[in-house]
Amino acid sequence: MESTTESTTESILSAIRNNPSITQRELAEIVGITTDGVYYVMKQLREQGVIRRIGGRANGTWEIIQQNPEID
């Protein structure tokens, strides 16, 4: 059985694949966690080199660098 963190991370990555310009607020609504929770997961993903932000906050997009990350 996968952990909550794994399923949350996979849900976030899936939503980014579907809409690279998605906001953290939209991710929170889709995944069902707080925006702080989304921020925490995405910070870890950025630090692990799984995702990166291209462009600014208003009109940037997310890019998934690593397709099958090891989730801690």
> Residue 46 sits in a domain of what CATH number?
1.10.10.10
pLDDT of residue 1: 37
User: Does 56 fall in a domain?
Assistant: yes
Instruction: Please indicate, yes or no, if residue 49 is contained in any of the structural domains.
Output: yes
- State pLDDT tens for residues 22-39: 999 999 999 999 999 999
Q: How many CA atoms lie within 13 A of 42 on its CB side?
A: 25
Which residues of the chain fall short of a pLDDT of 70?
1-4, 67-72
Per-residue pLDDT, 66? 81
Q: Is 32 exposed, middle or buried (0-12, 13-18, 19+ CB in 10 A)?
A: exposed
Could you give the angle at the alpha carbon of 14 between the alpha carbons of 12 and 16, nearest 5°? Answer: 70
Q: What's the pLDDT score for residue 33?
A: 95
Q: What is the DSSP string of 20-53?
A: TT--HHHHHHHHTS-HHHHHHHHHHHHHTTSEEE
Give the chain's domain count.
Answer: 1
> Is residue 69, in this structure, part of any structural domain at all?
no
pLDDT of residue 2: 45
